[in-house]
Structures are given as C-alpha cells and as structure tokens.
C-alpha cells in the first residue's frame, strides 16, 4: 500500500544519507538498506540502530529552521530509552535526563528518545510542553504564575496534583503509555536547578522574588527519522537570554514585568516616547545574563548566538549543504537589526529528519 511505499522511500533516503555522513562504505550502506527493506517487507516497519538514532537526532537538529543554536548540532548527547514501557520507567529516564543535562550548570545538550508509534498507536507521550515549567493559576483577579501554563496546570489539578499557588511552582511530569491513563509524578527535591534573578547594579524586582529554571527541555515535539515517528523525544539545549528576558518575563500575556521594572527604574511610563519599555527590557535582559553567569549556569546572549549561527552557516556551506532557516524566528526579539541574521535571507525548506509539532495530548 501507499503508506509502505512512503516508508520505504523515507527509509532508503535516510539510510543512504546517514551511512554516507558516518563514513560507511557503499557496500555497508547497501547491506544495511537491504536489511531494512527486508524488515519493512516482513513487519511493515523497521528498527533504527543506536548509531542511526544518534545521527538522525543530530540531523534533525541541524535541519531545525527556527533554531539559532545549530552550530553545535553534531555534539548532541543521545539517550536510547526505547526499552521504557511503563510510566515509572519513563519517569526514571526523564529524571536521569534532567540531571545529566543540568550537570551542575554546565549544561549538556541532550535528547532522550522513547519507543516510536506502533501499528498507528502512540506508545509514549509526555504531556508537559517542557519538563521544567511554572504553573499558571487562573483566579478572579487574573493569573498567578505563567499564563502559558494555565491549561496544562488545570489538567494536572484534575489528575490530583496540587500546587503551592506561588508564581513559580514547578509543574509535575505527566506521562502516558499506550494511550492509557496519564500518570503524574512530582519532580524529586533538588533535581531542578533554578536561578534567582538580580541586576548587577539596580534593585530591579523590589519585593517580587523573580527566578527562572536553568534548563529548557522541550518535551511535546515529535521526532521523525527515516519515516519512523517518535512521539516522545525530550531535548534540551541552554537558553538564549532573550527567551527569558524579552519574552517569558516581559510579554503582556506572560509575566508582564516591564511596568514593575520601569517603576523601579523611576522611568516616565506615561508616554511611549520616553522609551520606558525599551529601557526596562534592556535592564531585565542584563539581569538575566548576569544572574546565570553569576551562578555558573550556561546561557548565551543574542549577539554571541547570532555570531555562532553565522559560523554554522559557513560550516554548512563547506560541507556542501545550504543552511535553511525561518528568518522571523531566527532574529532575536531584542535589538534584532544589530545582528547579521536580520540582514540575511534564508530558505525555509522543510528537511528530514525533523522535529515536528504534535497535537497537545491534554486538550
Ligand atoms: C544549545 C543551545 C541552543 C540554543 C541557544 C537554542 C536556541 C533556540 C531558540 C532561541 C529557539 C527559538 C525558541 C522560541 O522562540 O520559542 C530555538 C528553536 C528551536 N530549537 Fe534550538 N537551541 C539550542 C539547542 C537546540 C537543541 C539541542 C535542539 C534539538 C536537539 C534544538 C531544536 C530546536 C527546535 C526544533 C526549535 C523550533 C521550536 C519550535 O518550532 O517551537 N535546539 N532554539
Ligand atoms: N533554548 C531553547 N529554547 C527553545 C527551543 C525550542 C522551543 C522553545 C519553546 N518555543 C515555544 C514558545 C511558545 C511559542 C513560541 N515560543 C524554546 C531550547 C529548548 C530545548 C532545546 S534548546
């Protein structure tokens, strides 16, 4: 049937590309492709070797058009968790990932790959958007915590989880296997590293104790390699400072801290032309970068990240590949025109292997 034809084509092009990039001989590539074709004929699917899983996950990062951080694509740490077949085993693999990736602040870009869909059914699903994220509680006077987490927080509460009701409550891990009832697990004490935020010279947050978690670990995207889809493959890098300082803490629909910061800076918030939002934004981003560096937690500023992306583009050209990208995501949200990315153009072609969006598991 057509589906098998599609799988055969995706599988063949991946096996050949992966073998070539790993320096295997044509004979070895041919032998491996014949083996894979045999598995597809016999079972309708095939299993990746660990090396194929490892290189496929790295290729998918290299192909991620919205990612500015791709220079280090070939140094992704890959963990094979395809044997995990219960909620407890999945939870254990997730806590190991968080500990390994955090590494005391010297963050290691990593991915843990759980078993792929089988006979059309998802085997493992993580309900969290990120393994570490703050709860959002909707009340009469508005939202306490992260408004982006309100729906997932409600799902967690309906499963029996209860938060402390502070603006920075870390959410539980919610895991589902073979479409069964989701299980929630609180994060083990001391596992999640957090960074209290302070500005080097100014008392920016007066009274509102602001902090953010150290490691961003995206856990709701799928990973497709050679026609096989992995529905749970949490991956982490380190933050670019603007993600925290120019979006998560500053967006009006997130923590909306600019008015508070502007007041504490003594700025005139009655007129746009005073550029009070811009001044508050810069000092907030200074505080984020200063605090992470103070605590020895990996982070990159948007100028350095843009320069590193330029190096990635040159490296790709040397390898005979064109670095594809989505301009609107690659430019940073603060001072975009001060980076070379802003003055460049990119093809937003979708390449495979790739990370892809999945419908939310809890809506
Ligand atoms: C090592 C440090 C890394 C940095 C600084 C970095 C930076 C970023 C930033 C700033 C974004 C845009 C996010 C947003 O605006 O919401 C992004 C997107 C993305 N990154 Fe990276 N990244 C890094 C590592 C990784 C790794 C290890 C992977 C996967 C293995 C990855 C895959 C992606 C993907 C798939 C997107 C698009 C997400 C979406 O469409 O929502 N990145 N990255
Ligand atoms: N630094 C990171 N940031 C990042 C990467 C991918 C996706 C995201 C979250 N993006 C979703 C939000 C919400 C809508 C637009 N942005 C953040 C990384 C997270 C995981 C690896 S690197």
Catalytic residue chosen out of the listed positions 243, 254, 316, 329: 243
> What pTM value is reported for the model?
0.98
Atom of ligand 2 nearest to the CA of 218: 20
Q: Please indicate whether residue 294 is annotated as part of the active site.
A: no
Q: Please indicate whether residue 238 is annotated as part of the active site.
A: yes
Cβ neighbourhood burial of 68 (10 Å; 0-12, 13-18, 19+):
buried
C-alpha 184 – ligand 2 centre gap (Å): 23
Q: Please indicate whether residue 18 is annotated as part of the active site.
A: no
ipTM: 0.99
Residue nearest to atom 15 of ligand 1 (CA): 329
41's CB contacts (< 8 A; 6+ apart) are none
C-alpha 285 – ligand 1 centre gap (Å): 19
Beta pairing class for 142-145 and 173-177:
unpaired
* Residues 240/306, Cβ–Cβ less than 8 Å: no
- In our burial notation (b when 16+ CB lie closer than 10 A, e otherwise), range 328-360 reads eebbbbbbbeebebeebebeeeeebbbbeeeee
In whole angstroms, give the CA distance from residue 114 to residue 108: 19
Q: pLDDT at position 120, please?
A: 78
Atom of ligand 1 nearest to the CA of 242: 10
306's CB contacts (< 8 A; 6+ apart) are 68, 332, 339, 340, 341
67 close to ligand 1 (CB < 6 Angstrom)? yes
Show the tokens assigned to 3: 């589906």
* Residues 174/182, Cβ–Cβ less than 8 Å: yes
Q: Which ligand is nearest to the CA of 76?
A: 1
Beta pairing class for 77-81 and 110-114:
parallel
pLDDT in tens, the chain (363 residues): 788 899 999 999 999 999 999 999 999 999 999 999 999 999 999 999 999 999 999 999 999 999 999 999 999 999 999 999 999 999 999 999 999 999 999 999 999 999 999 887 899 999 999 999 999 999 999 999 999 999 999 999 999 999 999 999 999 999 999 999 999 999 999 999 999 999 999 999 998 999 999 999 999 999 999 999 999 999 999 999 999 999 999 999 999 999 999 999 999 999 999 999 999 999 999 999 999 999 999 999 999 999 999 999 999 999 999 999 999 999 999 999 999 999 999 999 999 999 999 999 988
Q: pLDDT at position 363, please?
A: 87
Residue nearest to atom 24 of ligand 1 (CA): 237
């Amino acid at each position: 049937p057509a589906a098998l034809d599609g799988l055969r084509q995706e599988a063949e092009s991946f096996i050949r590309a992966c073998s070539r990039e790993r320096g295997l001989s044509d004979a070895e590539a041919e032998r491996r492709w014949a083996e894979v074709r045999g598995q597809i004929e016999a079972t309708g699917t095939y299993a990746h070797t660990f090396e194929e899983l490892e290189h496929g996950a790295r290729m998918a990062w290299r192909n991620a058009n919205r990612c500015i951080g791709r220079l280090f694509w070939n140094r992704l740490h890959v963990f094979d968790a395809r044997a995990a077949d219960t909620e407890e085993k999945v939870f254990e693999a997730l806590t190991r990932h968080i500990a390994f990736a955090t590494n005391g602040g010297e963050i290691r870009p990593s991915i843990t790959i759980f078993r792929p869909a089988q006979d059309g059914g998802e085997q493992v699903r993580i309900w969290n958007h990120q393994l570490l994220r703050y709860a959002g509680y909707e009340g009469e006077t508005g939202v306490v915590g992260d408004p982006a987490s309100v729906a997932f927080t409600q799902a967690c509460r309906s499963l029996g989880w209860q938060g402390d009701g502070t603006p920075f409550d870390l959410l539980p891990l919610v895991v589902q296997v073979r479409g069964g009832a989701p299980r929630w697990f609180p994060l083990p004490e001391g596992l999640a590293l957090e960074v209290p935020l302070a500005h080097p010279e100014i008392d920016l947050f007066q009274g509102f104790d602001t902090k953010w978690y150290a490691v961003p670990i995206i856990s709701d995207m799928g990973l497709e390699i050679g026609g096989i889809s992995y529905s749970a493959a949490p991956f982490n890098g380190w933050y670019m400072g603007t993600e925290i300082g120019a979006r998560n803490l500053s967006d009006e629909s997130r923590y909306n801290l600019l008015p508070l910061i502007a007041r504490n800076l003594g700025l005139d918030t009655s007129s746009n032309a005073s550029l009070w939002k811009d001044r508050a934004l810069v000092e907030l981003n200074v505080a984020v970068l200063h605090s992470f560096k103070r605590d020895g937690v990996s982070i990159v500023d948007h100028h350095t990240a843009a320069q590193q992306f330029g190096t990635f583009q040159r490296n790709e050209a040397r390898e005979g590949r064109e670095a594809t990208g989505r301009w609107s995501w690659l430019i940073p949200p603060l001072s975009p025109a001060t980076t070379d990315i802003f003055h460049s153009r990119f093809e937003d072609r979708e390449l495979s292997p790739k990370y892809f969006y999945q419908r939310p598991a809890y809506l």
